[in-house]
Chains A and B, each alone.
Chain A
């Protein structure tokens, strides 16, 4: 993830007026941001739009990045607030999204996940599909921890909670992920043994 100039080097270039350097940051973090956003939106089109919005917001507030935390931690804080605003705008009550049926419908509507029936059977796809079935909070914390290389301290910072709370949330999210995999991917899970 950190090949080429460091994040802080790119940021100082952008702040000095080299706006094109920002493309390096976008390239570096687009998959992380997009994956995280997709956990909330459950829809690739919306995720793309929200991700774009996040990078624009980050660009506009770049002068406020103090460098005390990692750039990724700061960026994921913007992801978190933007996604929550998106859900509010969509008038989606996050709690109502806990309803498993909502997720199954959202999941089945997601053309991206249905694009390749063969690929769906792969291990990685199974995990992604199971994560997509979780509620946004659980999916977000799992993604931050496993995919976005954030420590529990950093996750606490992003979500605005204590480290212990983040740890408990992560444990619970993983338990729920395990339940989902056992329930919806019984055959695939068996194949793994």
Chain B
């Protein structure tokens, strides 16, 4: 019930702010016309919206601007950050760490005795019964996981596309 109330509030706020899509706007207009609960809620929220909009700003003291100007007279405008941040130094630090990392990798691989491993695999690939892995249960589970993952990806893609279209509209 509470969730439903929040959902109505959220949708009505979007409508009042004018931030929803055209379809959403017409759907909400229809709800306001036909549903008493929506109508009452809409008028309630609209009234608050107009009240807050009509409220005045607070004013500082009359001397405020003068005080600020007197204060800034003591200071200089600091040079823009980009003028004193040297990009070469940032690049230099980056290159140093990358070189260090690559150096460690090269050293690490250089220490490995590649001949120590047994080249013969513990199982004879030619004797593996592949059919065992592709019985109905395994295949079905595998396919189901893939279908679910595929649907999730499709959902994400469509949601992103909808969002983009709404933004463009």
Q: Are A152 and B47 in contact (CB under 8 A)?
A: no
| Range class of the B interface residue count | 35 or more
Q: B63-106: contact bitstring with A at CB < 8 Å (1 yes, 0 no)? A: 01101110111011111110100000000000000000000000
Determine the residue in chain A with the shortest Cβ distance to B12: A171
Write the nearest CB–CB distance from A75 to chain B, whole angstroms: 13
Q: Does A142 contact B (CB under 8 A)?
A: yes
Q: Does B55 contact A (CB under 8 A)?
A: yes
Q: A124-B54, A146-B52 are in contact. Are A23 and B60 (CB under 8 A)?
A: no
Q: Does B34 contact A (CB under 8 A)?
A: no
Partner of A56, one of B49, B72, B81: B72
Q: Does A74 contact B (CB under 8 A)?
A: no
Q: Does A69 contact B (CB under 8 A)?
A: no
A128 surroundings in chain B (CB, below 8 A): 55-56, 58
Q: A63-B78, A175-B9 are in contact. Are A30 and B60 (CB under 8 A)?
A: yes
Q: Are B64 and A34 in contact (CB under 8 A)?
A: yes
Q: Does B61 contact A (CB under 8 A)?
A: yes
Q: Are A178 and B48 in contact (CB under 8 A)?
A: yes
B51 surroundings in chain A (CB, below 8 A): 123, 126-127, 192
B14 surroundings in chain A (CB, below 8 A): 167
Distance, CA A56 to CA B81, complexed state (A):
17
Q: Does B124 contact A (CB under 8 A)?
A: no
Residues of A in contact (CB 8 Å), total 47
Write the nearest CB–CB distance from A80 to chain B, whole angstroms: 17
Within residues 128 to 155 of chain A, which ones have a CB less than 8 A from any CB in chain B?
Answer: 128, 131, 142, 146-147, 152
Write the nearest CB–CB distance from A10 to chain B, whole angstroms: 13
Q: Are A124 and B64 in contact (CB under 8 A)?
A: no
Q: Does A2 contact B (CB under 8 A)?
A: no
B75 surroundings in chain A (CB, below 8 A): 56, 59-60
Q: Does B19 contact A (CB under 8 A)?
A: yes
Q: Does A191 contact B (CB under 8 A)?
A: no
User: What residues make up the interface of B, taking CB atoms closer than 8 Å to A?
Assistant: 9-10, 13-14, 19, 44-45, 47-49, 51-61, 64-65, 67-69, 71-73, 75-81, 83
Between-chain CB contacts (< 8 Å), 24 pairs? A14-B77, A30-B59, A30-B65, A31-B60, A48-B64, A55-B71, A59-B75, A60-B77, A60-B78, A61-B77, A62-B77, A63-B78, A63-B83, A112-B58, A124-B56, A127-B51, A127-B55, A142-B52, A146-B53, A167-B19, A170-B13, A171-B13, A178-B48, A181-B48
Which are the 7 A-B pairs with shortest beta-carbon distances?
A: A127-B55, A63-B80, A31-B57, A34-B60, A35-B58, A55-B68, A124-B55
